Structure 1
């Protein structure tokens, strides 16, 4: 190859190596044959009273190390279908297996919840469930009550959860992220840890008020991991990167135990999933 032809090749190679949103999963997101495997169970379809007319799929992960004599920690994930698999982006069961085995997390039961859907015909994709926006973007305590009054009593029927709020976490992406924050904001006496990626702290249903609300409210005992990307959404409802920066600034001003990781990604799970194991180490430290 001539030198003149070789230079453009090197330039294109450099661009491909530093391309935006080029995130990869690390070793803690890969199955390790030497690590004990937890069990994922799909639960019966749940019909809600707090969100009348809605039905949803949901799953429970129980680590291999769980014993009824020792109460487990809890982590709840919104848009559960996106987190529950072992071959997708998040691979929560795989990551939890690895982190629990290494001692970076205590035995933790995970609950994966899809948003509710009204109607007899379920969409092909759970992202299209028609009650998602109402449940996830709305402020107030409705979703927290849904968890505490409907879902978690079903979990504790079979499994022993810690009653220490420091052992209860909740997470999600996009609208699922603001939902997670809202639950901890409304019930800090029960949920103390929040994992938020590409969070929709914009005016989809009034969530843009959180940065101001955080600044004028007495600090709550919650720990927050925030992530977003500079290529996230900018539309009539707000600018996602700006909104997450404002959340970071407000949490910093009020001296919350929090961290903010800003990448160059778009509105997807690539960056969040790539840092998920380290985020869990930080959140559960």
Structure 2
């Protein structure tokens, strides 16, 4: 099935030596019965004389309106700048990037393949199977006709974040004959209900090994949106299926990272290096992990993070740990801590370059899985009347111009956020610009109060 009419491209090219962005408006899908924009990145020199026969790998990105530029609904991945730099440095192959815009009203449905219970969570069944056909039977044939691609799966990638990371994961396992390179950044695998302490998985967990190469990551400050434990569950299934860390699987636990375009832009270079280039050699490392572990209570994990001489960064899934006093605890290869008795010891990780990172850790008898946190947000008097607002978690109104409550949050809970009244209604600073992101890390008996200077309302009702 092909588009009814050929979209006309608008080029932002300046010279043959520079990369180009070509825009196709109103690209129609018969499968999804809607239209959207496509943005196509062509690498530097694509149209240069003498290179007419050169062909390129292709990467298909979801939420494409954010790949190369910011808009009222979010920032940019800055994919053009990152690709230009890595190509110029000779670290990745020159590639074509096809950024496929979402249709806002249909985004969640299109990025989720049908699974039991999905309709009860979102009020609509997943349409990911139709979105899959849209990419494979409508978008990709068009791109392969218009541009000099290498069309095989070993040269074709798919990449996205959040729900876009979820659909990328599904596409890799469902259609490895098309997409052999997969990037799933903070994939939205689970929708939790923290008030009921329940979880709804939004995908099946694949337990076989197709011929794909996959990057997967998660930030440590994404709150309830994406949680490390869910991503690690999927990663463990991949390891059990035979994926080899560093060869066809790379995982990264990203310290200080939230759930926004700025976070994904900051690390886009890593999946590009892993999927389309060379990662280089380990140069330095850091060992992240708890300083206190309970014989009973919350699970604990150490994260050995390797930094490479190319700028690549990943968490070592096949690490070797040394524990000073192994009678106190042991650490499994994947970083899981197994406490044995109360006491104190040190955990050391030595990277491939021979450099060692050490952390001190104490094992106590009991460490509660949840901690009490009290939040209060004071809003300006001109704030529209809302029953709830969002400050990393949903807060009810508790008085005039005040929202908040006391919550039992997971001990390792962290979230980076702007205070919001809903999508497109975020807090502003004193000058009326978007306020800086805030960071909440759950600690026992934490009391946090925030004051909102004003609002930016991008939604017009």
Cα offset, 1:146, TM superposition: 0.6
**Partner of residue 212 from structure 2, selected from 219, 222, 227:** 222
**Preserved contact between residue 184 and residue 222 of structure 1 (Cα < 8 Å):** yes
Q: Distance in 2 between matches of 1:62 and 1:41?
A: 8
**Partner of residue 57 from structure 1, selected from 30, 33, 37:** 37
Cα offset, 1:89, TM superposition: 4.0
> Where does the alignment leave 5 or more consecutive residues of structure 2 unmatched?
1-15, 115-127, 193-199, 278-461
1:61-114 CA distance string (max 9 Å, x none): 111233441221000110011112299542111111122222222221111111
Match of 1:259 in 2: 250
Q: Distance in 1 between matches of 2:155 and 2:39?
A: 19
* Structure 1 residues 39 and 173, CA gap change in structure 2 (3 angstroms): same
* Structure 1 residues 245 and 270, CA gap change in structure 2 (3 angstroms): farther
1:104 equivalent to 2:91? Answer yes
Alignment of 1:205-284 (within 5 A): 208-211=202-205, 214-215=206-207, 217=208, 219-234=209-224, 240-256=227-243, 257-263=248-254, 264-284=256-276
Task: Point out the more displaced range, 80-89 or 246-255.
Answer: 80-89
Q: Which structure has greater helix proportion? A: 1
**Partner of residue 92 from structure 1, selected from 66, 69, 79:** 79
- SS class of match (1:152): helix
**Partner of residue 82 from structure 1, selected from 34, 47, 66:** 66
- SS class of match (2:274): helix
Cα offset, 1:49, TM superposition: 0.7
Q: Distance in 2 between matches of 1:138 and 1:130?
A: 16
* Structure 1 residues 229 and 48, CA gap change in structure 2 (3 angstroms): same
Q: Which structure has greater strand proportion? A: 2
> Where does the alignment leave 5 or more consecutive residues of structure 1 unmatched?
1-34, 117-128
- SS class of match (2:190): coil
- Of structures 1 and 2, the one with the larger relative CO (CA 8 A, separation 6+) is 1
**Partner of residue 27 from structure 2, selected from 35, 40, 46:** 46
TM-score of the pair, normalised by structure 1: 0.73
Across the aligned residues of Structure 1 and Structure 2, the Cα RMSD in angstroms comes to 2.4
Q: Distance in 2 between matches of 1:83 and 1:170?
A: 13
* Structure 1 residues 132 and 48, CA gap change in structure 2 (3 angstroms): same
**Preserved contact between residue 157 and residue 179 of structure 2 (Cα < 8 Å):** yes
1:154 equivalent to 2:142? Answer yes
- SS class of match (2:111): helix
**Preserved contact between residue 141 and residue 186 of structure 1 (Cα < 8 Å):** no
Cα offset, 1:195, TM superposition: 1.2
1:136 equivalent to 2:111? Answer yes
* Structure 1 residues 203 and 99, CA gap change in structure 2 (3 angstroms): same
Q: Distance in 1 between matches of 2:177 and 2:201?
A: 21
1:101-159 CA distance string (max 9 Å, x none): 2222222111111123xxxxxxxxxxxx1110111022464222111211122222321
Q: Which of these two proteins has the greater Rg computed from alpha carbons? A: 2
Task: Point out the more displaced range, 138-147 or 91-100.
Answer: 138-147
Name segments (4+ residues, structure 1) moved above 6 Å: none
**Preserved contact between residue 144 and residue 186 of structure 1 (Cα < 8 Å):** no
* Structure 1 residues 36 and 104, CA gap change in structure 2 (3 angstroms): farther
**Preserved contact between residue 47 and residue 56 of structure 1 (Cα < 8 Å):** yes
